[in-house]
Each structure stands twice: as structure tokens, then as C-alpha cells.
């Protein structure tokens, strides 16, 4: 099912299918957590449908039913393997081999590679050879929230379709429909915590991460008031999703800098976050930006062998120093 903010991109794709003006490779890009893979699946279904309606899948034909069952012989998908973060060259080579076969049911063969930037160097080079020599009625669908990580030669051989960022009112309406058991205030808090990224906001509601965000905020305030030790906070945070914590820390720091530059405090919602923003508003802007960069740097090392508790403790010590200096 399409998401509300996909409609513009879906209309563009449906027109290509209806006019039979399909390129052999498409790259769907857009913000992270905007459901790019879901749009890629929708495109794959529409391509393989036997009775498309204005370029969109009918959802009733044999092809549509086979795809729903995961057994369509002309449909392929490449994702990082279990316990891995990369798409490997062997998977791409198997795809290329299968793409050389004739279609079985549908007019096209369609492969979805998502997220495409997770291909390792060998896999990307193997795919590039296929892009340079298109294979008949075969369409490659790549999705990527980080297209800059793709080889430039891959990007240049794909027609790009961009998903625009979801608007606030559209996201909040979707959250209200999808997560109706939560309050309007919780929908807003999730939207704020996710930086406007709709699927991430939905995850925060589904996994009750708003309570975690509140706890992280309270820990920061207690630390700045010398009521908690950095090592104790780090130990607690190890039980929380660190990727999200580093994102929240970066957001709060940037909001503090924004408040200094514009004189306007962002709407933080009914949380300890509001107190944090007031605390950072008085701090040195360069120091806040340094902390923000440090947080984003640490976020990139989540899968490294580095001890996460030491990274957190080091950051928290710097946080306390910046806030305490501002209060002197």
C-alpha cells in the first residue's frame, strides 16, 4: 500500500508504465524513513501486473496474487543478508544470471535492490556491467536515502524519481490513523523526536520509545545538575537504542543553536526536552556545534568494536562541561 507522501512519485512512475516509456533502471531516492522500499515494492507490483489500471497494479490478477504470496518467478529482491549490513557480490551475480532468462508470466522481470547504497564495492561493480548492457524486458529498481554513497556511474545510468519530504500535517494525519490508540500529543512528540521522518515516528509509537526519549532528557538534566555521574548514565543508556539517542542529542543541540541565531525557541513538546533547550540556549554556540558533530560521529560507530559505554561517557563529560561553563 502506498503511503500518503508517495502519491506524487507514484503518479510519475505510473505515467511511465502507462506510456511504456520505462528506463531499464530507476533510482528512487528521498529522506530516510520515508518508506522508499515500500514504494519500490509498489513499482515492482505495477510492472509485473497483467492488467494494470493506468499504470497501477490491479491487485486481482494472477501476477498480483503470486507477488503477494512471495512466489512470483519474475520478481527479485536484493537486501543485506541476515546478520550483515551489506549486499554482496554473489547475490548480484545470481540476479544477473536470472535476469538473462526469459520472462515466465509477466511482460517484465523486475528486481528491487534496497537499500542500494549497501552494496559493497564488488557488488556495485558487478551491477554496473548490467546497467551498461541492459537485458531486454528487465527493469532494475534501486532505492536509496543516501544516493551519494552509490557509484556516480550507477547514478548516471538510472532515471531518478524523488520522494519529497512528508509535510507535517500529512504525517500527523497518517500517525493519527495508523496509531489511533495514542494521543494527539504523543503523535506530535513522535514527529518531533523523529525529526519529521514519518516511518521513524511510527516506530517510536509502536516501540514506546517516547518514554525512552523522556528518560534520556531527564538524565541529561540530572547530569548537568550533578545529580548523576556520567558513567551511571552511560550504563543506563546501553539498554536503550543508541542510534536514536545520538539522533535526539544532535537534534537538541542544533535546536539550541537555532534558538540563539533566531531568538525563537522551537516547540519541544510536553517533555524534559524543553528544559534541555533552555539549558543549551545559554551555552556557547561553537561548543554546541562541536558536541553535535561528536554525537553524529559516535552514531557512525555503533557497529564498530569500540566500547559504546566509553564513547557515551566521554560525550557526557563534554556535555556537562559545556552546560556548566554556560551557567557560571
Cα–chain center distance at 149: 14
Which residues, listed in sequence order, are joined to residue 75 by a DSSP beta bridge? 110
Instruction: Using alpha carbons, list the distances in angstroms from residue 50 to 5, 55, 61, 139.
Output: 26, 11, 6, 16
In whole angstroms, what is the distance from residue 298 CA to residue 295 CA? 5
Tell me what pLDDT residue 267 has. 63
Question: pLDDT at position 106, please?
Answer: 93
Residue 276 pLDDT: 80
Give the per-residue pLDDT at 328. Answer: 54
Which residues in the chain show pLDDT less than 50?
A: 270
Q: What homologous superfamily does CATH list for 4-162?
A: P-loop containing nucleotide triphosphate hydrolases (3.40.50.300)
Global pTM? 0.89
Sign of CA dihedral 292, 145, 166, 217: negative
In which residue ranges of the chain is CATH 3.40.50.300 found?
A: 4-162
| Fold adopted by 208-327 | Zinc Finger, Delta Prime; domain 3 (1.20.272)
User: Which of these, 91, 228, 251, 51, lies nearest to 99 by C-alpha position?
Assistant: 91
Write the CA distances from 131 to 69, 121, 267, 280, 285, integer angstroms.
Answer: 29, 15, 47, 50, 47
Whole-number pLDDT of residue 98: 86
Instruction: For residue 194, give the 3-state DSSP assignment.
Output: coil
Three cell numbers at 216? 534520556
Amino acid at each position: 500500500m502506498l503511503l500518503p507522501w508517495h502519491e506524487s512519485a507514484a503518479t510519475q512512475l505510473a505515467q511511465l508504465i502507462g506510456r511504456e516509456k520505462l528506463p531499464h533502471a530507476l533510482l528512487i531516492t528521498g529522506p530516510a524513513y520515508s518508506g522508499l522500499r515500500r514504494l519500490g515494492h509498489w513499482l515492482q507490483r505495477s510492472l509485473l501486473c497483467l492488467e494494470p489500471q493506468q499504470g497501477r497494479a490491479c491487485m486481482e490478477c494472477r501476477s498480483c496474487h503470486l507477488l503477494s504470496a512471495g512466489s512470483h518467478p519474475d520478481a527479485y529482491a536484493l537486501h543485506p543478508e541476515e546478520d550483515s549490513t551489506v549486499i554482496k557480490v554473489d547475490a548480484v551475480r545470481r540476479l544477473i544470471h536470472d535476469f538473462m532468462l526469459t520472462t515466465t508470466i509477466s511482460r517484465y522481470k523486475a528486481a528491487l535492490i534496497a537499500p542500494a547504497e549497501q552494496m559493497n564495492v564488488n557488488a556495485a561493480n558487478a551491477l554496473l556491467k548490467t546497467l551498461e548492457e541492459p537485458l531486454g524486458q528487465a527493469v532494475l529498481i534501486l532505492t536509496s536515502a543516501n544516493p551519494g554513497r552509490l557509484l556516480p556511474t550507477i547514478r548516471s545510468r538510472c532515471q531518478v524519481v524523488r520522494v519529497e519530504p512528508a509535510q507535517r500535517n500529512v504525517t500527523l494525519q497518517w500517525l493519527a490513523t495508523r496509531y489511533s490508540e495514542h494521543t494527539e500529543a504523543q503523535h506530535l512528540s513522535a514527529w518531533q523526536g523523529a525529526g519529521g521522518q514519518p516511518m521513524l515516528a511510527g516506530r517510536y509509537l509502536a516501540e514506546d520509545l517516547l518514554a525512552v526519549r523522556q528518560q534520556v532528557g531527564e538524565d541529561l538534566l540530572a547530569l548537568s545538575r550533578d545529580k548523576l555521574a556520567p558513567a551511571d548514565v552511560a550504563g543506563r543508556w546501553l539498554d536503550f537504542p543508541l542510534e536514536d539517542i545520538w539522533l535526539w542529542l544532535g537534534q537538541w543541540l542544533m535546536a539550541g543553536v537555532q534558538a540563539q541565531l533566531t531568538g525563537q525557541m522551537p516547540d519541544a513538546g510536553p517533555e524534559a526536552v524543553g528544559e534541555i533547550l533552555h539549558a543549551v540556549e545559554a551555552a556557547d554556540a561553537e561548543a554546541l556545534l562541536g558536541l553535535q558533530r561528536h554525537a553524529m560521529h559516535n552514531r557512525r560507530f555503533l557497529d564498530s568494536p569500540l566500547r559504546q559505554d566509553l564513547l557515551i561517557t566521554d560525550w557526557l563529560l563534554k556535555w556537562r562541561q559545556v552546560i556548566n561553563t554556560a551557567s557560571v
